[in-house]
Structure 1
Amino acid sequence: MAEIWTRDTPWRQGHILTDEAAKAFGLSHPESPDSTCVVVISHDCDLANDALQVEPDVEVIVGRHLPKGDGNYFWAKAPRKLHVDVLKHGTATVVELAATAKQILPKHALVAFSPDAAYSLPGKSLSALRSWLAVRYNRAAFPDLFVSRLSECKVDKRLAKIIEPVGNLLSAVYFEVDGGTEVDHSDGSPYELKIVLAYPPGDDPEQAADDVEKLETAITQIFEEKHFDHTTGEWNGISLKQCISISEDDLRVSRARLLTQWRLEYMTLKADGEQTGAPV
């Protein structure tokens, strides 16, 4: 007699398929088949729903194990790719997930398998996964002209380069452009920019604060090198008004809702659109 999917299913969001289950469904990472890691991304409520005419499937992402993560892809900073810490028998490993690698598995077939007990996602990793899943459908777009000015001087690439080695320290990088109002800069006037670096305090809050403050200095130097004219004392293209860091413990929910997150991969607006929020 075939097994039946029930509300008592052992499957939860963040669970990982065994190699046997992945092979049974023909799931394999296209670039690294031997490192395949299939992660369940359906919400727990949808997994528990045993009305298969309503919720017949389980959504997964066919990812892969990596020997080392890239700081630019931790903490959901990039909407198309996520690097997340996963525990294997209690030892930290890194898994890479791509937003375009989603697959659908029917519950009536998955019921024959159990999650791989060797793996588990720590609470922070599961939270990052959930945030990343939401990011693809809920992320800010910056004005084309603003993005163009960032890229012309390769400031965006330099930001990514300095964040990459220590990116796991940051949970988010926020941009606030022109105080959250719509301003026409077609006359060449500079955008006014404030940057907020949010970070988890971790086990050593003082050390975490010191490390992130170094990023503040490095980011400020980049903007001064590329957008500040020391001869005239004026900013060109983009005027960096402030770059500050703040612990997640000190970032109020009401304030966080007003911030616009800058990510390494983003779409821009075709016209200067209104930017929400004022971080300070």
Structure 2
Amino acid sequence: MEGTSPPQWTRETTWRQGHVLRAETATALGLIHPVESARTCVVVIAHDCDLANEDLTAEPDVEVIVGRVAEPPDGNYRWGKAPRTLHLDMMRNGASLAIELVATAKQLVAKTALAAHTHDSSFALEPRSLNVLRAWLSVRYNRAAFPDPFVTRMRARKLDAKLMQTLDPFNDTVSAVFFVVDEGKELTREDGNPYRLSIVLTFAPGDDPEASADKAEQASEEVERLFADRCFDKKSEKWAGVQLIGCVPISEDDLSVSKAKLLMQWRLEHMSLRADNAPPAPLAP
């Protein structure tokens, strides 16, 4: 109607982190997935505190990721295992699906342009998935870095790739892989002196904690077998390159905060100190 002022952005905005833009809103704003436009799914990743800020000189934009529906989801990208790509579990009209988000697909949308729109209420993000999203967003700027020689030895024996393959059948259960190298001490290991590695596999208890624990235990046994096959010489009874002290499965419900602080998460796209790869940390205003 003539003379009607356009909607203003206020602290009472209904937009929240994890909300999905309506398809017509994404199209109107030119937010289309470059490969699969029909599967476009734009997710708000700006924090709630930033969304509530009505001072447009301080916070003029809403950060989003132009993602797509992932069919089927890849377990290697669930639960924030990879810092560059996330397959985020969501619900749409009561059915589960996954949305693929890529860190480099972030874009800014002016609050003034989004003020007139509402989110797509057919999508729902459960608290656990929201925590995964928040942790994944922080990981890109806060990744564990391992000593270059350790990473070199892992790669020389193809332990990084083989570890990923070994854990692939357990992706629905094992939620994270943590390394403790030389008990957290930064030691220089000469050739013939292996790095001492302890591995912790966390798993989600799910609806059947006992079955999840059994599957996680099986995963830990497979990991121990992998390292023994590639690093342990049965004739000399010595380890070469990397010595696995043990691989222990721990339920997410049993991993204490104090224990988690001692662990460094190993990710599928981990890097060494030469370049650039941690458990969920709640964000606060």
User: Could you list the per-position Cα deviations for residues 214-249 of structure 1 after superposition, in whole angstroms to 9, with x for gaps in the alignment?
Assistant: 100111111011101011111010000010010111
Q: Which residue of 2 aligns with 1:26?
A: 30
Q: Aligned to 2:171, what secondary structure does the other structure show?
A: helix
d(CA) in 2 for partners of 1:7, 1:202: 37
Q: Which residue of 1 aligns with 2:46?
A: 42
Q: Which residue of 2 aligns with 1:275?
A: none
Amino acid corresponding to residue 14 of structure 1 in structure 2: G
d(CA) in 1 for partners of 2:226, 2:22: 46
Q: Does the 8 A contact of 1:75 with 1:168 survive in 2?
A: no
Q: Does the 8 A contact of 1:70 with 1:165 survive in 2?
A: no
Q: Does the 8 A contact of 1:173 with 1:197 survive in 2?
A: yes
Of 219, 244, 256, 1:252 maps to 256
Of 151, 163, 166, 1:159 maps to 163
Q: What is the correspondence of 1:196-275 to structure 2 with a 5 Å cutoff? A: 196-270=200-274
Instruction: Give how far 1:213 is off.
Output: 0.6
Amino acid corresponding to residue 6 of structure 1 in structure 2: T
- Give the direction of change, closer, same or farther, for the CA distance of 1:102–1:243 in structure 2 (3 Å limit): same
User: Could you list the per-position Cα deviations for residues 43-75 of structure 1 after superposition, in whole angstroms to 9, with x for gaps in the alignment?
Assistant: 011111111111111000011101111111111
Matched-pair identity in %: 52
User: Could you list the per-position Cα deviations for residues 105-145 of structure 1 after superposition, in whole angstroms to 9, with x for gaps in the alignment?
Assistant: 00000011100011011111111000000111111111111
Q: Which residue of 2 aligns with 1:278?
A: none
d(CA) in 2 for partners of 1:162, 1:64: 28
Q: Does the 8 A contact of 2:191 with 2:241 survive in 1?
A: no
Q: Which residue of 1 aligns with 2:283?
A: none
Q: Aligned to 2:104, what secondary structure does the other structure show?
A: coil
d(CA) in 1 for partners of 2:82, 2:148: 19
Is 1:168 aligned to residue 183 of structure 2? no
d(CA) in 2 for partners of 1:56, 1:270: 36
Q: What is the correspondence of 1:114-193 to structure 2 with a 5 Å cutoff? A: 114-193=118-197
Of 103, 107, 112, 2:107 maps to 103
Instruction: Give how far 1:82 is off.
Output: 0.6
Of 69, 76, 85, 2:89 maps to 85
Is 1:3 aligned to residue 4 of structure 2? no
Structure 1 stretch displaced more, 4-13 or 150-159:
150-159
Instruction: Give how far 1:155 is off.
Output: 1.3
d(CA) in 2 for partners of 1:31, 1:151: 32
Question: Structure 1: which 5+ residue stretches go unaligned?
Answer: 272-280
Instruction: Give how far 1:191 is off.
Output: 0.3
Instruction: Give how far 1:147 is off.
Output: 1.0
Amino acid corresponding to residue 111 of structure 1 in structure 2: A
Q: Does the 8 A contact of 1:75 with 1:170 survive in 2?
A: no
Q: Aligned to 1:269, what secondary structure does the other structure show?
A: coil
Amino acid corresponding to residue 167 of structure 1 in structure 2: N
Q: Structure 2 length as normaliser, TM-score?
A: 0.92
Q: Does the 8 A contact of 1:142 with 1:267 survive in 2?
A: yes
User: Could you list the per-position Cα deviations for residues 65-92 of structure 1 after superposition, in whole angstroms to 9, with x for gaps in the alignment?
Assistant: 0111111111111111111111000100
Which 4+ stretches in 1 moved above 4 angstroms?
Answer: none
Q: Structure 1 length as normaliser, TM-score?
A: 0.94
Amino acid corresponding to residue 155 of structure 1 in structure 2: L
Instruction: Give how far 1:27 is off.
Output: 1.1
Q: Number of residues paired by the alignment?
A: 271
Q: Aligned to 2:172, what secondary structure does the other structure show?
A: helix
Is 1:61 aligned to residue 65 of structure 2? yes
Amino acid corresponding to residue 80 of structure 2 in structure 1: A
- Give the direction of change, closer, same or farther, for the CA distance of 1:27–1:134 in structure 2 (3 Å limit): same
Q: Aligned to 2:178, what secondary structure does the other structure show?
A: strand
